[in-house]
Chains A and B, each alone.
Chain A
Amino acid sequence: MPDPMAILVIAEHDNRTLKSATSHAVTAAARLQGQVEVLVVGYQCGAVAQAAAGLRGVDKVHVAEAPYLATPTPENVAATAMTVLPGAYTHIVLAATSFGKNVSPRIAALLDVAQVSDVTAIESADTFVRPIYAGNALATVQSKDPIKVVTVRTTAFESAPNGGTAPIMAIEAAPDTGKSKVVAQELTKLERPELTGARVVIAGGRGLGSGENFKMLEALADKLQAAIGASRAAVDAGFVPNDYQVGQTGKVVAPDLYIAIGISGAIQHLAGMKDSKIIVAINKDPEAAIFQIADYGLVGDLFELVPQFTKELG
């Protein structure tokens, strides 16, 4: 086993920009107090490698490029990771995003080690804290495996500041596994901040009644430069796409201000937002569970209150 510790962070990116999730993962990796290296798997992704090298705390960046890695499949990312991993690292760290959740367990299984998912605190090099039961309990777990594979919750770790100057090394990509290929991506056009990184999040629930009524939240979101999210109930009812979903089975957010509108506050929704700094709830049912965790609850008809709120912000 390498001594001192060596940690590999696998970067998430679109070949042009490094996703902010990775800079949170770098902070988590740096907590382990070892050599922190970043692996970038992609195609024509020099800018991403530069961005990773510029993060403080990063000691080295490896870049594997090939045309078939332009939109890499988990099979191909794992295959390339496996060319550098065995024997070289004590820890593999990915952000617990849809990319990280897809790729990381595949790597763990190839290494025949456990994965510790969705880590919110690092106690030591082998001991981690993670939420279970939708965040209703926190488990402190210790890994006995020689390599610790962890995904980290981005809201639990600050993003790493810029100012680093790590060297960048090109490495060979593993050959195309040919097992699957990405044939299309339909990305929601983001006219607002991304849900997981926004300072203010406005989320709508079943109380909004329709997808059409979600538009009402946009004027408010414009005023507050907020991202828009939704409860699972609103997604299930077809009001908005799934990538709006905040909760146990969706995204986990912890903005400075979370405004829950027409959301009752099911356990699985609270799991995704209860670490927000300030929570505002607007709901017509005074008994709604959301009020129990809200700093400022406002009981009333959202169809009157939301436009008033927007107007009051001037």
Chain B
Amino acid sequence: MKILVAVKRVVDFNAKIRVRSDGAGVDISNTKMSMNPFDEIAVEEAVRLREKGAATEVLAVSCGVAQCQETLRTAMAMGADRGVLVETDADLQPLAVAKLLRAVVEQEKPGLVILGKQAIDDDCNQTGQMLAALLDWPQAAFASKVDLNDGALTVKREIDGGLETVEARLPAIVTTDLRLNEPRYATLPNIMKAKKKPLSTTTPSTLGVDVTPRLTTLKVSEPLKRKGGGKVQDVQELVAKLRNEAKVIA
């Protein structure tokens, strides 16, 4: 069985972003870019399933600018067998990405698609669920454990207040939560090997997908700054202030 993983190129989780003073967006020029952390977990899970013999091939797909090739090379250095880039400079929103992925899925026919639950730039948490709807497949979102045995998929999911175990028919969509696994680091030999793995490129128009944004961003602003930095000397002062100044405890 083939597993498809979707990987997004995002601002590195350690990088500090700057809101543009004209309110037109976020300035990410000269900012370090990396693979979305939840997508690293997705790649790791797919590679582990192949290593266990539950899958035969791992295909990484990314949608976006030409530099997403680097993200795909990272996925291949982690163990993905090949990559597909859907190249476009357009502003891609989750519904458009889900449609692009559907088109790739229809060509590649994977038995399982694994995606990160959310990208750390737009924080949308939509693409996997949307892809499942478009394909009319079951979805197991926010996975903390994935078992794939003889064509049966069992997923433990993170829910508010605990965990839920779901059995789903294949083909299916899984989105990853934090505790699913700890992604491996790509080693230098594997980074070198990844350079020789096949990477093909297509475009939204070749796939016949209209990626016109449905949402218009009117303004991006900085959140109100919190006035912090207050200090207390000891526990007695803390409790007194909480009681008498902040009045948040009795």
Contacts and interface: CB of A to CB of B under 8 A. Distances in A.
Interface in B56-88: none
Interface stretch (B124-132, B187-195, B200-208): B124-132
B48 to A, nearest CB: 18
Contacts of B220: 132, 137-140
Contact of B162 (A97, A143, A185, A267): A185
What is the interface residue range for chain A against chain B?
Answer: 35 or more
Chain B interface main SS type: mixed
B144 to A, nearest CB: 7
A74 B141 contact: yes
Interface string B115-136: 0011011111111111111100
Contact of A136 (B17, B38, B131, B158): B17
Contact of A142 (B215, B230, B234): B215
A167 interface: no
Interface in B142-186: 142, 144, 154, 158-169, 172, 177-179
A131 B123 contact: yes
A179 B235 contact: no
A307 to B, nearest CB: 9
Contact of A105 (B130, B163, B218, B230): B130
Interface string A90-132: 0000000111011111111110111111100000000100011
A235 interface: yes
Contacts of B90: none
Interface in B215-245: 215-223, 226, 228-232, 234-236, 238-239, 241-242
Interface stretch (A158-166, A187-195, A205-213): A187-195
Nearest to B153: A180
A292 interface: yes
Given A280-B238, A294-B229, A113 B95 contact: yes
B177 A242 contact: yes
Nearest to B248: A257
Contacts of B172: 179-180
Contact of A277 (B38, B124, B248): B248
17 contacts: A98-B159, A99-B160, A117-B123, A133-B11, A133-B123, A137-B220, A139-B220, A141-B218, A144-B214, A182-B164, A183-B167, A235-B178, A279-B228, A296-B231, A297-B229, A297-B230, A309-B235
Interface of A: 71, 73-75, 78, 97-99, 101-110, 112-118, 127, 131-145, 177-188, 190, 194, 196, 200, 224, 232, 235-236, 241-243, 245, 248-249, 251, 256-257, 267-268, 274, 277-280, 291-299, 305, 308-309, 312-313
